Structure 1
Amino acid sequence: MKRSVAGVLMIMALGLAYAKDKPMHGVNEKIAVASRGGKVLVTLTVSNKTAQAIYLWKVIYASEQLFGPEFDIKVAGSAAPVNYMGPVVKRAPPGPDDYVKVEPNGVHRNTIDITRSYDFLPGKHRYQLSHTGSYVPDLQHLTDPVAMKPGSTVFTHTQVAQPAEQ
């Protein structure tokens, strides 16, 4: 009997260690892109359908602009990347105040204007945008973010050529 209990406990411990690196069932991210009025607006919606709070990094989930190449954008139907040309900010490792809390069974939504952050082609084109979000289930373990299932969407954007600077 002691061996059976010890064996079950060992299997449970291994399962918990394995689950730590896996996304929690019930946490997901949806990506929507709106291209209107010459702008490209990306909305990230994270749903937490679990019984515990999760924490999202404010830089991507509570900011209105990008500070690094968070999204992978390609011309749809090709491997041609759309280069990131926005600001890149070097940061200290994030602390607990750098996260936004999403309560159990809660939803968090943020919209970011990426129009000037990526080198969209002049004229009308279709693009594929991909993003792999992450969260931390515990503010005591900020160095162990958990990746969400990668999300992707296709959108059409018309980039009006900017007049040359004089």
Structure 2
Amino acid sequence: MSDVKLSLAVQAEQGRVRVGVVLKNEGTHTVYVPRTLAVDKDPPGRLFDVRDADSGEKLAYDGVMIKRGPLKAADFMELKPGAEQQNSIDITNNYSFKAGKRVYQIAYEGLYWDDMASEPDMAKALTLTSAPLLFTYGGK
């Protein structure tokens, strides 16, 4: 069982899709969560799994892609026991939302660490996931 709880909320209004992210450390020790999820307003790359809820088709990613090397400690932020981190990410232009009002599903799956002495050790990575969430958006 994970000590880190991740919840997503979607606000789709005024022609924009904003994803509210809440990370909470419910454990007794410090953990290290992805900086792109915790603080970036425009993450460089596909961060979420966004699908058409009716067909299950994954939406194409249209946002910025930056080729990156191996993960580094700087890619993660410390989240102390009992701490909560909130972020809001506008994904409107990052995914190929279809024209017209449709229902979509969004979810997140990534990695976090409960120990980061110097650099991330992939053998010690823990999985961080959100529950799938449905939202309605009127398209571009």
Q: Normalised by the size of structure 1, how large is the TM-score?
A: 0.76
Identity rate of aligned residues, in percent? 26
Task: Give the aligned partner of residue 62 of structure 1.
Answer: 39
Equivalent-residue separation in structure 1 for 2:129 and 2:48 (angstroms): 14
Asked if the contact 1:29/1:133 (under 8 Å) is kept, the reply is: no
Runs of 4+ with deviation above 6 angstroms: none
> 1:122-159 CA deviation, whole Å, 9 max, x = no partner?
11111011111331111125133210244210001112
Task: Give the aligned partner of residue 134 of structure 2.
Answer: 154
Q: Are positions 1:131 and 2:108 aligned together?
A: yes
Structure 1: segments with no counterpart, 5+ residues:
1-22, 161-166
Q: Higher helix share goes to which structure?
A: 1
Asked if the contact 1:126/1:157 (under 8 Å) is kept, the reply is: yes
Asked if the contact 1:45/1:109 (under 8 Å) is kept, the reply is: yes
State how many pairs are aligned. 137
Structure 2: segments with no counterpart, 5+ residues:
none
Q: Which amino acid aligns with 1:39?
A: R
Q: Higher strand share goes to which structure?
A: 2
Larger radius of gyration: 1
Distance 1:108 1:118, change over 3 A: same
Task: Give the aligned partner of residue 48 of structure 2.
Answer: 71
- Counterpart pick for 1:83 among 60, 64, 71: 60
Task: Give the aligned partner of residue 18 of structure 1.
Answer: none
- Counterpart pick for 2:121 among 124, 143, 146: 143
CA RMSD of aligned residues (A): 1.6
Task: Give the aligned partner of residue 112 of structure 1.
Answer: 89
Asked if the contact 1:132/1:151 (under 8 Å) is kept, the reply is: no
Equivalent-residue separation in structure 1 for 2:19 and 2:121 (angstroms): 26
Secondary structure of the residue aligned to 2:98 is: coil
Q: Normalised by the size of structure 2, how large is the TM-score?
A: 0.88
> Of the two structures, which has the highest relative contact order with CA contacts closer than 8 Å and spacing of 6 or more?
2
